Amino acid sequence: MKIAVFCSGNGSNFQAIIDACRKGLFKADISLMVCDNPNAFSVKRAEKEGIKSFTIERKAFSSAEEFEARIIEELKKERIELICLAGYMRILSAGFVEKYKGRILNIHPALLPSFKGTHGIKDAIDHGVKTTGVTVHFVDEEMDSGPVILQEAVKVEETDTEASLAEKIHSVEHRLYPEAIRLFIKGKLKLIGRRVKILP
């Protein structure tokens, strides 16, 4: 299966996906890394790993449609079958989601539907929850709202800071995202309404 990973920043999840694939957790070709930020470390990771990257800035386009159309052109060129958003801090339009319906995954650093948005870890700390976690879900037209594939809880200790909690969450993310991709590739994810049934 040909995968594109979308990033905006560090790309540690992108790295975890590459590492899991190399270790043989799933059979895929990570063909492309799409990035909307030329200064992102994920661009360096792609270079080091020999993965083609496509960096594209929103400000170079007069509309979101044109920006996405250019990305879609690249995805088509590479015959991408699965898109994994990994810290991609942009909302995909309904038109984009429709084109790749059921073929876009996202990881979020909280137990959705709690703490949606770009500051899931800080928001959980600020709210004072005792448990937060990680969610991998299918992407739909709304932000952080699609059907949940996998979730795992992470305890918030009284001594936790945003940084220490982020470290715990990232280590769960790096295990959970590759596992969700493995299930997808194996055809084990059955969508029934909003629910994702994991087949044996």
Facing residues of 35 across strands? 7, 55
Phi, psi of 77 (to 5 degrees): -55, -40
146 binds ligand GAR (CB under 6 A): no
Nearer to ligand GAR, 73 or 117 (CB): 117
The residues, any chain, with a CB within 8 Å of residue 145's CB and separated by 6 or more, are 112, 113, 116, 137
How many residues are given for the chain?
Answer: 200
Tell me, yes or no, if 137 is annotated catalytic: no
Question: Which range in 27-35, 55-63, 105-113, 189-197 contacts ligand GAR by CB under 6 A?
Answer: 105-113
CB 153 within 8 A of CB 163: no
Nearer to ligand GAR, 13 or 132 (CB): 13
What span, in angstroms and rounded, lies between the C-alpha atoms of 36 and 109? 20
- DSSP E strands in 86-165: the ranges are 104-108, 131-138, 148-155
Q: Could you tell me the smallest distance in angstroms from the CB atom of residue 12 to ligand GAR? A: 3
What span, in angstroms and rounded, lies between the C-alpha atoms of 128 and 122? 10
Nearer to ligand GAR, 73 or 142 (CB): 142
10 binds ligand GAR (CB under 6 A): yes
Question: Which range in 3-11, 26-34, 73-81, 147-155 contacts ligand GAR by CB under 6 A?
Answer: 3-11
Number of residues counted as binding ligand GAR (CB under 6 A): 16
Nearer to ligand GAR, 107 or 148 (CB): 107
Facing residues of 6 across strands? 34, 85
53 binds ligand GAR (CB under 6 A): no
Residue 176 parent element (H or E): helix 162-185
Q: Could you tell me the smallest distance in angstroms from the CB atom of residue 117 to ligand GAR? A: 6
Residues 113-132, interacting with ligand GAR (CB under 6 A): 118, 120
* Active site residues per annotation: 108
Binding site for ligand GAR (CB under 6 A): 7, 9-13, 86-87, 107-109, 118, 120, 144, 170, 173
